[in-house]
Amino acid sequence: MADYSTAEVARIVGVDKSTLLRWLYAHRVPEPKHVTYAGQDLRMWTEDDLKGVKRYKEQNYRKGRGRKKRR
C-alpha cells in the first residue's frame, strides 16, 4: 500500500489543496495518520483514506458544476 501526501491526494481527487484542507478542518473527511519527519508533522494518506475523499467528493459535488444543491 502506498502513502500519499496531502498535495498528491488533492491532485488525484481533482481539487485544490486548500479545498482538501478545508474539508479536513470542517471534519467532512477523516483525518489521516500523522507522521513526524525531520521536525515536520506530515499527513500520510493511505489508499483507504484516498477512497474516502473520492467518495465524499462524488456525493457532494457534480462534475464541472460545483456543489450539489441541498435537498
Q: What are the structural domain ranges in the chain? A: 6-64
pTM of the model: 0.81
Question: Is the pLDDT confidence value at 1 over 70?
Answer: no
Q: Cα dihedral angle (7, 11, 17, 23), rounded to 10 degrees?
A: -110
Q: What is the pLDDT of residues 33-44, one digit of tens each?
A: 999 989 999 999
Q: What is the pLDDT of residues 25-70, one digit of tens each?
A: 999 999 999 999 899 999 999 999 999 999 999 888 876 666 666 6
Mean predicted confidence (pLDDT) in 12-26? 95
Q: Residue 68: what pLDDT?
A: 64
